[in-house]
Amino acid sequence: MMRIEIICTGDEVLTGKIVNTNFSYISQKLEDVGLSVRWETTVGDDRESLLRALRLAGERADAVIVNGGLGPTVDDLSQEVAAQAARVELVLNDEWLTRMEEFFRRRSRVMPPNNRKQAMLPATAEVIDNPIGTACGFALDIGEARFFFTPGVPRELHRMLEEQIIPRLLAKSGMQTAIVLKRFHSYGLGESHVDALLRGVEELVPDGSVKLGFRAHYPQLETKLTVRGTDTDDTRRKLAPVEREVRKRLGNFILSEDDATLEGVVLAGLASRQGSLSIVETFTSGAIAARLAHLPGADKVFCRAVVARALGEVYAAVGLEGASATGELTRETAEAVARAARRQTHATHALAVLIDLDDGADRIDLGGTICLAIATEHEVASRRSRILGGREWVRLGAVEMGLDCLRRYLQNLPVYERIDFEKA
């Protein structure tokens, strides 16, 4: 098994002033292809700490990914310290300097003199291309390990890692490099429940080349199938029966696959009908509308959103003056609001997600009652649910439930199926 280490640099990461999402991303992507991280080190912006970290990693790891420190400022030290650790000179890479100058020229800007520093690389370094930025990635050997230096800007790191570094790591590991990663996104089933439902699916491919994994990020769960093979056709052949079985066992709870999102599926479903949507939501801070309104094509679908806390304000906004805003929140309340919102905006569909939050301080047993309804010209579908877990848990769950019920309605699936997160 290849021993991989990740070194993250920067005082802001070391002191916790920013969340180190880059480390999480790198670890997740390596796990997706069957590689695992043995060590993780975080160092500040000082030369001696970084030098010690590089030399130690060079003694104990086979491969090391270093993140950060490739910028143009005085505290960006990765190139200099890498050259010192490898005992080579720091030299100007003319090709990358030209690339940077062209990068600025295309944007009608003059390259600042300090950016020249980004073209100074260890003499033995292999350039790793950065197609969307000025920070030049590079690889070189230090001690017994192959080091890969990457920029701290997330979108630049992502491209470099996925397109260039992971293929190099797989080749170095000797593992089969034809890999397919299939992802299923679901809502309503907990990780342990899905693990039980999918027990044995890996055994549909007896050679052990299919690995099942999960990533829980409430309110969704990502189920992953990583498949290895001799070539793309081989991996696709192995994936097919497992993929079918996962769809069969998880059924209506699968809300999207691979890079598709729940909100994207909903928007596509409405657009395919030449439909339109109005939304009414309480306590969600407008999160349902925010998930949809910015998407490409939403201007042809999205009509209006009403965001309020008090039910009386909701009634006034949708033209239900005179209706009682007191008493228990019910499915019938949500149905009336959804119908009124649809009539008022002439949308083909209206979604109302109304929440009655428990009183008191935020706590683990604080809950909320969610009543939601989907109205069209001819019918209305609704459901009532209760979720415990604190204010944010209720809010996130209500947003996901509202969008998922709309997805189900558009796909002619039951709007109500009991989920693991709701309480009687």
Report the percentage of the chain scoring pLDDT > 90.
83
What angle, rounded to 10 degrees, do the helices at 311-318 and 331-345 form?
30
Cα–Cα distance between 399 and 418 in angstroms, integer?
Answer: 16
Lowest mean pLDDT among 31-40, 132-141, 235-244, 322-331: 322-331
> Which tokens go with 71?
């910028």
Q: Which residues, 6+ apart, have CB-to-CB distance to 241 below 8 Å?
A: 204, 205
Question: How high is the pLDDT of residue 406?
Answer: 98
Q: Which residues, 6+ apart, have CB-to-CB distance to 171 below 8 Å?
A: 177
Overall average pLDDT of the 340-358 stretch: 97
Q: Is 321 exposed, middle or buried (0-12, 13-18, 19+ CB in 10 A)?
A: exposed
Q: State CA 272 to chain mean position distance.
A: 26
Cα–Cα distance between 167 and 165 in angstroms, integer?
Answer: 6
Question: How high is the pLDDT of residue 231?
Answer: 85
Question: How high is the pLDDT of residue 11?
Answer: 82
Cα–Cα distance between 6 and 39 in angstroms, integer?
Answer: 6
Question: How high is the pLDDT of residue 420?
Answer: 94
Question: How high is the pLDDT of residue 14?
Answer: 79
pTM, whole model, 2 decimals? Answer: 0.78
Question: How high is the pLDDT of residue 320?
Answer: 92
What tens digit of pLDDT does each residue of 66-125 get? 999 999 998 899 999 999 999 999 999 999 999 999 999 999 999 999 999 999 999 999
> Has residue 361 got a pLDDT over 60?
yes
Band of the pLDDT at 333, cuts 50, 70, 90? very high
Lowest mean pLDDT among 69-83, 155-169, 175-189, 241-255: 175-189
Q: Tokens 């001819």 belong to which residue?
A: 378
What tens digit of pLDDT does each residue of 290-331 get? 999 999 999 999 999 999 989 999 999 999 977 777 778 999
98-104's contacts with Cβ under 8 Å and 24+ in sequence apart are 100/134, 103/134
What tens digit of pLDDT does each residue of 113-163 get? 999 999 999 999 999 999 999 999 999 999 999 999 999 999 999 999 999
C-alpha angle 314-320-322 in degrees, rounded to nearest 5: 110
Question: How high is the pLDDT of residue 291?
Answer: 97
